[in-house]
Amino acid sequence: MATEKGNKLIAENRKAYHDYHIEERMEAGIELFGTEVKSIRQGKVNLSDSYAAISGGELWLHNMHISPYEQGNRYNHDPMRQRRLLMHKHEILRLFSVVREKGLTLVPTKLYFKRGRVKVEVGLARGKKNYDKRESLAKKQANREIERRLKEQSRRPD
């Protein structure tokens, strides 16, 4: 698990970077049960198909899978339940207006611990077209090839 500036990364939504152009990112707290936190500490969480939506003036996270805690017996939770994201009201209203006007989507990109609390990084995202996805894959492959060639050249004694 990577650590940067005291934050411990739990999960990253790499699929979001493949499917969307992330225009802006913001941090939000998340409302969890105790067994969910214990399961998250074990790394048993999946963000791949999750998204955030605003309903009733609150921000909700949908389709995030947190596996049930093995020692949790009857206190376990529903793995796919909706979880409330905690942000200031003015931030939620701003997100609501941007999503409604510009047709953007709210996608969770990272889940991490910050000073003992679970935080979610939510990105304002615009969907990529198929040609955008192919273009980004081609760039990634070209960069890999360049790195591989540079590495080979640095190994060879001249």
Q: Give 28-49 pLDDT, tens digit per residue.
A: 999 998 888 999 999 999 998 8
Judgement on whether residues 73 and 108 belong to the same structural domain of the protein: yes
> Once rounded to an integer, what is the mean pLDDT over residues 104-132?
91
Kindly state the average pLDDT of the residues 110-114: 94
Are 134 and 76 within one domain?
A: no
Q: Which residues of 104-136 are buried (b: 16+ CB within 10 A; e: fewer)?
A: bbbbbbbbbbeeeebbbbbbbbeebeeeeeeee
Q: What is the pLDDT of residue 71?
A: 82
Q: Domain span at residue 135?
A: 129-158
Pick the more confident residue, 61 or 4.
61
Q: For residue 30, what are the CA distances in angstroms to 106, 118, 138, 146?
A: 15, 7, 36, 41
**Same domain as 88, residue 56:** yes
Instruction: Record the pTM.
Output: 0.77
Q: Do 50 and 80 fall into the same domain?
A: yes
Round to whole Å and give the CA distance between 84 and 77: 14
Residue 134: its pLDDT value, please?
87
How many domains in the chain? 2
Question: What pLDDT score does 89 carry?
Answer: 95
Whether the pLDDT of residue 117 is over 90: the answer is yes
Rg (CA), the chain: 19
